[in-house]
Each structure stands twice: as C-alpha cells, then as structure tokens.
Amino acid sequence: MFNLLKAETYRLLKGKTFYITLACIIGYLLLIVLTKSVGVVGINTAAISEMLDTMVWSGFEVSKYLIRSMNLLQYFFLPIIVVVMGTDFTYATCKNTIGKGISRTYYYLTKLLIVFIICIFYSFVYIGVGTLIATILYGFHGTITAQYLKELVQPYVLQMLIMFVLVSIAAAILFISKKPTACSIGYLIVPLIIQIVIAIISANNMELGSTLLKYEVLSAMNYIAYGIMEYSLSHYLFISLAYIAITSFLGMYLFNKIDLT
C-alpha cells in the first residue's frame, strides 16, 4: 500500500491539478477573509443566519466559521478524485498496475486512502491558512480552551466523515463504471437524489420519511456544522462509518468481478 501511496503522491505533485485546487482554496479563503463575506453552502436556517450576522472578524471566530463552512470543500475534492482514481481508467494505466499482480482490493483501498489523505490535507489548509490570514489582518482575539477545541474538532470530524461518505460513493461509482464522468455526476447529484427521494417519501408517509432521515447523513452536514444535531454524535459517527464501509465493500466486490477491457 505504501508503494502505491508514494507513487500517487509523486504523480500528483508532478501534475497541475493538486496545485490549481490548492490555489483555488487559498484564493477563496482570501476572498472571504479580505472582504469579510461569509455564506453557507446548502440549507440556511434562521439560526445559522443569525450566527453569521453577529460574527466578529478575528482569527478566533474565523477558525470556527471555517470549520462550520468546510462542507464547501467537497467541490474542491472532486478534481482530486478524478485525477487520483479516474485517470487510471481514462488512460487505461490501471492495466499496468493490475497486470503486475497488484490485487484489486489493495488497489481500490489505496486509491481511496490517498484521496482521503489529500482531502484531510486540503481541510487543514482551508482552516489553518484561513485562520492565519484572519489573525494577521484582525488579530486572534480569543483563548484556546478545551471548549474551543471541542467546538472545532467535533464538527470537523463529523463533516469530514460525511464528505468521506460522498467520496466513497463516488469511488464505488467510478470503479464499477470505469468512467470519471459518471463518478463526477454521481458525486454531485447523489446527495440531491437522496434528499429528493426522502422528501417525496416524507410527503406521502411522514413516519417513513423521518426514519429514512435518521439514516441519511449527507443532508445533515450543514446542521451538524452549526451544532444543530437531531441525533447523538455517536449516531452520526456510526452511520457515516457504516456508509463508508458498505459503499467501499460493494465497490471493491464489484470491481473484483469486472473485466478491465
């Protein structure tokens, strides 16, 4: 696993996608910190709007805001998914690796792990660089306490896990279809489809809709970021991990069965 990990890192650092995505993230950070413009990707509630309206511009507050708004990073993850996993199918380079006796399970898991690592790296850049810029411009104005760290770590972990659910779904689509386009479309529309289906079900059967919502984490990401959690922390953790495990197992199982033509 370590060999393929090293190789993929080498390739990524030799290409442009990694740097362009990084530049876009930093550019976006500069934009929000310099112009003091904040917003929310997804559903905005009155509670969230109030929090944003009363936001004080300092490194301390910006770090919390960035954690809460980090779900927009999912759009920056897509090019990395396509480059790390999709390129091998677009240019048929997977046959060089698979044909060398590297097991498909190992190959699948390594690729997934690489994307996860880069996603974590980007999230650190997003929060770290953003906080640093805000601190330089406006000062930190806060004390790092256990409560402050909890406010950062809990929504961070939960949101990252939910974004990993999305990455795992995209990976499964890609490895089964061998088509980066299908993966990209799936990555963007699967959460929407799930929400629409649940909304339709809820309209006809409120009880069933609520039950489904309990086991659907993608639409909950925005609320979780602001600490508005309908269920316990462990519930979201368990559901997210279960999604990652199930989609990855399914993806690996089917990838092991398909012909690489």
Question: Interface residues with other proteins (CB under 8 A)?
Answer: 3-4, 6-7, 10-11, 14-16, 87, 91-93, 95-103, 257, 259-261
How far apart are CB 78 and other proteins at their closest, in Å?
18
Which candidate, 104, 103, 81, places its Cα nearest to that of 8? 81
How far apart are CB 30 and other proteins at their closest, in Å?
28
Residue 108 or 156 with smaller CB distance to other proteins = 108
Q: How far apart are CA 221 and CA 42, in angstroms?
A: 9
Q: How far apart are CA 122 and CA 6, in angstroms?
A: 18
Residue 23 or 200 with smaller CB distance to other proteins = 23
Residue 5 or 26 with smaller CB distance to other proteins = 5
Distance, C-alpha 157 to centroid of its chain: 11
Whether residue 29 contacts residue 38, with contact meaning beta carbons closer than 8 Å, is answered with no
Residue 110 or 123 with smaller CB distance to other proteins = 110
How far apart are CB 5 and other proteins at their closest, in Å?
9
Residues 6 or more apart whose CB falls under 8 angstroms from that of 22 comprise 122, 125
* Angle, CA 167 vertex, CA 87 and CA 108 arms, to 5°: 55
How far apart are CB 175 and other proteins at their closest, in Å?
14
How far apart are CB 213 and other proteins at their closest, in Å?
40
Cα distance between the two ends of the chain? 24
Place of tokens 């030799």: 14
Residue positions counted in the chain: 261
Residue 49 or 96 with smaller CB distance to other proteins = 96
How far apart are CB 176 and other proteins at their closest, in Å?
15
Residue 12 or 24 with smaller CB distance to other proteins = 12
Residue 44 or 181 with smaller CB distance to other proteins = 181
How far apart are CB 180 and other proteins at their closest, in Å?
14
Torsion of CA 53, 59, 63, 66, to 10 degrees: 60
Q: How far apart are CA 118 and CA 122, in angstroms?
A: 6
Looking at residue 69, its amino acid is: S
